[in-house]
Chains A and B, each alone.
Chain A
Amino acid sequence: MRHEWGRRSVLKAGVAAFGTALGGAWPRASAAGAAAESADLSAVTGTDLYQGTLKTIEQLGGMGRFVPKGATVGLLINHQFRNPGAHVNPDVAAAVAALCWEAGAKSILSLKDERFTYWPRQGRTSDAARRLTPCSGNYVTVEVPRGQALRKAEVIKEFLAAEVLINVSVAKDHEGTRYACVLKNAMGALTYGTCQFFHFGHGKGGWYGDVEFLSQCVADLNLLRKPDLAVADATTILTSNGPFGPGKLAKPNVVVAGASAVSVDAYCTRFLGVDATHVSMIVRSAALGLGEADPAKVKTRETSI
């Protein structure tokens, strides 16, 4: 159901979002609980995707670093696509959810509706899914105070309201931006109307008539609500015909996670054979201070299991 907000509500939401962008509005877990040597970016290679995801988060210092006890967690999973390599493997998403429960989350909100029976009906993955609260479709209009291209957006209310936002996406080819993963997945929280603005707001015509404008909108959106934890599934990835597929596949079998969506995305471009400095949304997001785009400058831990 769509909620129409009055001007006052819009302003309040905009201010709240601005506070978020400054990093002060949302309660955060104490870093004291995290391991002293925890990394800022973690990558684990292995064929057991569930265990690989657990290990990836562990190397960051554990989920407690991101999810305080009693917190409401918003989970934005890229699971709208059914074709192989085009969506997050359910084992990866389920492991993230399981860790949130283990950290003491009060509730986990699934920000997007499940499509095409995403969650298996049996096993550990279905157990995690059963406890998620669906909340897609509850949109609010907010201003984007520091947005350069995006000034107003219609977003899922809980995308802003959740105390902790975890963006779980899949690294893959994208016909317009060449590469898509965590930063681009934030568009999953928008209405079709706002997505159209990303494509046509420049006024030049064509879905990808101005990729720079689109990329700036993506950066602005991530500024509106920066994810607290970014998780990238690079286990099976679509290397052509993205974002929907079907297309050619690669199987790096890597799960990547980090506190910065920019750093996670920059790291994952290697799986598509793309240079992060050539992906405008990464460059523009880094320029907004959303994270380090040079993987060499990020404290990274890589492991195989």
Chain B
Amino acid sequence: MRPASDWSIPAKPQAAGGATASWVGVLTAILLGLNLIWVPHGTAADQADRAILLLFPKPEEVRPWVPDGPAQLAEGQDLFALIDGGAELFLRHGFERAAVQSYALAASRHIQVEIYMMRSMDGAAEVFARKTGPGELPLALGDAGASGEYYIVFRRGRFLVTVAAGDANADAKAAVLRIARAVENRIPARCP
């Protein structure tokens, strides 16, 4: 597990450079997802980390919630160090990399956004199927989405995303939906 600040990129990369950087990031994510970018040996992981970090919403889209520290990143089996036993489900369905960002409000409240990039769309679909059941309501988000009392889970392409609040208050649920939609909009639609 590595904090995003370990890289030579800003802790809040989604804010860096404004709309232009955001577009470049989205384009990079699309091309990486399609395996259409060749990157020199040793920098592929950095490129992929940058791309996944750019899927998080900009700070203005999240206000009044604010990022609570830098995003945490994990690749392959490092996911175990990030989410411990929770990694098992992802690893057995072809996990590639993840980024987790917490947002806080008034110190005691939080929302956590987890973006998992799987090796394939099927992997994301399998994890989604395991994470959702009769207890969740279908939600029109991504290729498939579901909502629980305080959280949203959706998948798009080979990405699996969960956005969960620490409570089920109305403002937290509204923020969860807003963040989920923002992430959905940044995920390349035709990523294989």
A-side residues, CB < 8 A to B, are 80-84, 86, 115-117, 120-122, 174-176, 180, 184, 187-188, 192, 195, 199, 206-207, 240-241, 243-249
Asked if B88 contacts A245 (CB within 8 A), the reply is no
Query: B84's closest neighbor in chain A, by CB?
Result: A80
Question: Could you count the A-B residue pairs with CB atoms below 8 Å apart for me: how many are there?
Answer: 86
Which residues of B are found within 8 Å of A117, using beta-carbon distances?
68-69, 102, 104, 110
Contact of B166 among A80, A84, A174, A192 (CB under 8 A): A84
Asked if B110 contacts A246 (CB within 8 A), the reply is no
Query: B88's closest neighbor in chain A, by CB?
Result: A207
A-B contact pairs, 21 of them (CB 8 A): A83-B164, A84-B150, A84-B166, A84-B167, A115-B72, A116-B100, A116-B102, A117-B68, A121-B107, A122-B107, A175-B89, A175-B130, A187-B85, A195-B85, A207-B91, A240-B135, A241-B131, A244-B85, A247-B131, A249-B149, A249-B150
Which residues of B are found within 8 Å of A122, using beta-carbon distances?
107
Query: Given A115-B82, A244-B89, list of 15 further CB < 8 A pairs?
Result: A80-B83, A83-B112, A84-B150, A86-B86, A116-B110, A117-B68, A122-B107, A199-B88, A240-B135, A243-B85, A245-B151, A246-B164, A248-B148, A249-B149, A249-B150
Which residues of A are found within 8 Å of B89, using beta-carbon distances?
175, 207, 244
Cα(A122)–Cα(B107), bound, Å: 9
Cα(A161)–Cα(B166), bound, Å: 35
Query: A84's closest neighbor in chain B, by CB?
Result: B166
B-side residues, CB < 8 A to A, are 68-69, 72, 77, 80-86, 88-89, 91-92, 100, 102, 104, 107-108, 110, 112, 130-131, 133, 135, 148-151, 153, 162, 164, 166-167
Chain B CB count within 10 A is highest, among A174, A199, A246, for A246
In the complex, what's the smallest C-beta–C-beta distance from B147 to chain A, in angstroms? 10
In the complex, what's the smallest C-beta–C-beta distance from A264 to chain B, in angstroms? 19
Cα(A21)–Cα(B108), bound, Å: 41
The DSSP consensus for interface residues of chain A is: loop
Asked if A192 contacts B85 (CB within 8 A), the reply is no
Query: B112's closest neighbor in chain A, by CB?
Result: A82
Query: B164's closest neighbor in chain A, by CB?
Result: A246
Asked if A120 contacts B164 (CB within 8 A), the reply is no
Query: B80's closest neighbor in chain A, by CB?
Result: A192
Cα(A264)–Cα(B124), bound, Å: 36
Cα(A117)–Cα(B133), bound, Å: 30
Which residues of A are found within 8 Å of B82, using beta-carbon distances?
115
Cα(A246)–Cα(B154), bound, Å: 12
Cα(A245)–Cα(B85), bound, Å: 11
Query: A80's closest neighbor in chain B, by CB?
Result: B84
For the complex of A and B, list the 3 residue pairs with the smallest distance between their C-beta atoms, beginning with the closest: A244-B86, A80-B84, A246-B151
Contact of A188 among B84, B112, B130 (CB under 8 A): B84
Contact of B80 among A84, A121, A176, A195 (CB under 8 A): A195
Cα(A247)–Cα(B68), bound, Å: 23
Query: A116's closest neighbor in chain B, by CB?
Result: B102
Which residues of B are found within 8 Å of A187, using beta-carbon distances?
85
Which residues of A are found within 8 Å of B102, using beta-carbon distances?
82, 116-117
Which residues of B are found within 8 Å of A184, using beta-carbon distances?
85
Chain A CB count within 10 A is highest, among B68, B69, B83, B135, for B83
Which residues of A are found within 8 Å of B84, using beta-carbon distances?
80-81, 188, 243-244
In the complex, what's the smallest C-beta–C-beta distance from B107 to chain A, in angstroms? 6
Asked if B86 contacts A243 (CB within 8 A), the reply is yes
Query: B1's closest neighbor in chain A, by CB?
Result: A115
In the complex, what's the smallest C-beta–C-beta distance from A153 to chain B, in angstroms? 16
